[in-house]
A and B are shown apart, each in its own frame.
Chain A
Amino acid sequence: MEFLGLLNYWIIIVLMMTGFYIVIAHNNLVKKIVGLNIFQASVFVFYITMAKVKGGTAPILAEGIEVYSNPLPHVLILTAIVVGVATTALGLALVIRIRDAYGTIEDDEIEARENEL
């Protein structure tokens, strides 16, 4: 039961490491951005998971509702999602410019071309 109870956290760790690995290991600039997204998504899940209160419902003021989940992390994560979207957009825009300039989006080919400059 211990494992199942912490299932979300295990998923977070797997997602986080997958994303991080893609960022470090992949050569393709677009894939790196995707990896970065997975990495960030794991943090979103992390915040939402910790906000959950066992047996709690949505935080709405109504009769009969006494236990509710903490809404603050959800709000924080909305902000973080916006930041993540902005980062992705900017990153992809940079990839387009890099492709225009170098004719490739493979990191090693770009590096080779930079060393020639």
Chain B
Amino acid sequence: MIAAQYPALQVVLALLAAPVCLILRRPRAAWAVATVITWISLAIALSLLGRVWETGVILYPMGDWAAPWGIEYQIDTVNAFMLVIVTLIGSVVMPFARASVEAEIEEERIYLFYCMYLLNLAGLLGIAITGDVFNLFVFLEISSLSSYVMISLGRDQRALTAAYRYLVMGTIGATFYIIGVGMMYMMTGTLNMADLATILPAVADSRTIQVALGFLTVGLGLKLALFPLHLWLPNAYTYAPSAVTVFLAATGTKVAVYAFIRIFFTVFGGVEVFNAGFIPEILAVLAALAMIGASVVAIYQTDVKRLLAYSSIAQIGYMVLGISMVTVTGLAGTIVHLFNHAIMKGGLFMAMGCILFKIGSVQLDQFEGLGKRMPVTMAAFVAGGFSLIGVPLTVGFVSKWYLVQAALEKGWWLAVAAILVSSLLAVIYIWRVVEVAYFRPPPKGSAEVSEAPLSMLVPLWILIGASYYFGIDATRTLDIAFVAAETLFGPPQ
């Protein structure tokens, strides 16, 4: 039965398709391969989620080597949901990418983009699906290396330095992660997550494990751009080609957040790490600083893509805040926000892609009169902006609602205040763009109404539409998020 092999196919398909793009070389052919593979991956991810939903955890020993010696893929509600998020975003980005990439990347390099995209997809899916901490490192590096290349494909020469700085910081993060893994292996002799979870409590008091936890936290903190380890993010998102920014902003940091949750709640699940050493407090403070600090910085940006990048750092703050509460509601808020933020920020960056396609710049002063010149795109931007602020009926409201509720349950009034202040700041930075676009006349001699092609507008509106659809009827995503959060708090399997 082929369905039994879905966990392997989920990763392997994209991994094998990447060199195919390299051989094909023709831009359109590479695009077709990447699109078809992404859509198949989405179908596989959905079927895996369905199966996990009905029958519980799927265990898939790679090559039939039994765990803990072999690498085992373990799929529960949490990673099945992650797989769906990543492939869903990929599936919407691909149709968008064709025109956008043709406009932004030189023709002879386009096939490289699709090759790297597929590697990145394979890496992200691998991180989400694997049940082995070292395997996770390998996939982390596959996804990181390919994202450095994708960022460096940007037109602006600053894309090169952004990619270089991201490479240095990303490598430090990944190396910190393997130091942590090595120390855990030293004390337990295993790399399998479930196995680690059962052995760790016995040795948790040793200094080695405590240091390991520190290295893991900082390493993954770098990857997920937790304040103050976020310095690589703004330039990387700003100067990368639009399609890359959409994909990375919507999936890259989310998967790192997932890895963080996995390490803290599954691997260290049996150890009460959150009861000792102020870890929740430290995380909560950093999260609050990210939410407010990054939002303030966002207000002062003149490059709208950069503004959205800072807003992403603030949104990561929300996710970490949910984690730091260590309650089912808080964690469910984080998990649902992973999905919600992926679709709304994906949509907003797609709007940037459309504007870059037509206007050639996303500097704020170029936005004058854009509400009249590109009404469809700007309407999408405003709709997505509402979601970012957290207006009711949008997905942004749903996640903030649950995060606030979780904070109230804990009696963390300051966290509630931070969420509200950060939302108000979001109103300001979105308003600045809206004001320029709608209330200033278009510069003289500018072109009449002209929109990006439908192949870009349709994916844009799919994501924006989804951010309302799942905002109005959030039962499906919330059910999954709550079950996922309960799984994480459940006894280690």
Binding site for B on A (CB under 8 A): 20, 23, 29, 32, 36, 39-40, 43, 46-47, 50, 73, 76, 79-80, 83, 86-87, 90-91, 94-95, 97-98, 101-102, 110, 114, 117
Question: Number of B interface residues, CB 8 Å?
Answer: 25
B134 within 8 A of A: yes
Residues of B within 8 A of A50 (CB): 182, 185-186
In the bound assembly, the distance between CA atoms of A20 and B157 in angstroms comes to 27
A54 to chain B, nearest CB (A): 15
Is the CB–CB distance between B168 and A76 below 8 Å? no
- State in angstroms the CA–CA spacing of A20 and B134 once bound together: 22
A117 pairs with B158, CB closer than 8 A: yes
User: Residues of B contacting A98 with CB < 8 Å?
Assistant: 160-161, 164
Given A47-B182, A94-B152, A94-B163, the answer on whether A39 and B145 have CB atoms closer than 8 Å is no
Which A residue's beta carbon lies closest to that of B167?
Answer: A91
Give the 5 A-B CB pairs with smallest separation, nearest first: A101-B157, A83-B141, A94-B164, A98-B160, A50-B186
With A43-B178, A47-B182 as contacts: A90 and B160 at CB distance below 8 Å: no
A50 to B160, CA, bound (A): 38
CA distance A65 to B148 in the complex (A): 47
Known contacts A87-B141, A94-B152; is-contact A39 B164 (Cβ 8 Å): no
B137: chain A residues within 8 A (beta carbon): 80
Q: Is the CB of B185 within 8 A of A73?
A: yes
Name the residue on B nearest A80 (C-beta): B178
Are A39's CB and B161's CB within 8 A?
Answer: no
When the two chains form their complex, are residues A102 and B182 in contact, meaning their CB atoms are under 8 A apart? no
Docked Cα-Cα span, A97 to B145, in Å, equals 16
Q: What is the distance, in angstroms, from A113's C-beta to the closest C-beta of chain B?
A: 9
What is the interface of chain B, defined by CB distance below 8 A to chain A? 134, 137-138, 141, 145, 148-149, 152, 157-158, 160-161, 163-164, 167-168, 171-172, 174-175, 178-179, 182, 185-186
Query: Are A39 and B175 closer than 8 Å at their CB atoms?
Result: yes
What are 5 contact pairs spanning A and B, CB under 8 A?
A46-B182, A83-B174, A87-B167, A94-B148, A97-B160
- Among B145, B152, B157, which residue has the most Cβ atoms of chain A within 10 A? B157
Output the least CB separation between B171 and chain A (Å). Answer: 5
A-B pairs with CB below 8 Å: how many?
68
Complex Cα spacing A23 to B168, Å? 8
**Is B171's CB under 8 angstroms from A36's CB?**
yes
B391 to chain A, nearest CB (A): 36
Are A29 and B164 interface neighbours, CB within 8 A?
yes
- In the complex, A109 Cα to B171 Cα: how many Å? 23
- Chain B residues near A102 (CB-CB < 8 A): 157, 161
Given A36-B168, A73-B185, A87-B167, decide whether A94 and B160 contact each other with a Cβ distance below 8 A: yes
C-alpha gap A36/B247 in the complex (Å): 28
Min distance, Cβ A7 to any Cβ of chain B, angstroms: 17
* Bound CA–CA A114/B179 (angstroms): 35
Asked whether, in the complex, the Cβ of B138 is within 8 Å of the Cβ of A90, the reply is no
Contact of B152 among A29, A32, A97 (CB under 8 A): A97
Contacts of A76 in B (CB 8 A): 134
Chain B residue at minimum C-beta to C-beta distance from A97: B160
* A94 to B147 Cα, complex, angstroms: 13
CB distance from A27 to the nearest CB of B (A): 13
Q: Complex formed: what's the CA distance from A29 to B148 in Å? A: 16
Return the chain A residue nearest B138 by Cβ.
A79
Pick from A80, A90, A117: contact of B145, CB below 8 A: A90
Q: Is the CB of A94 within 8 A of B167?
A: yes
User: Shortest distance in angstroms between A64's beta carbon and chain B's nearest beta carbon?
Assistant: 25
**Within the assembled complex, what's the spacing in Å between the Cα atoms of A114 and B238?**
14
Provide the residues of chain A in CB contact with B168, threshold 8 Å: 23, 32, 36, 91
* B186: chain A residues within 8 A (beta carbon): 50
How far is B402's CA from A116's CA once the two chains are assembled, in angstroms? Answer: 45
Additional 4 contacts, C-beta under 8 A, given A90-B145, A91-B168, A110-B161: A20-B172, A36-B172, A87-B145, A94-B148
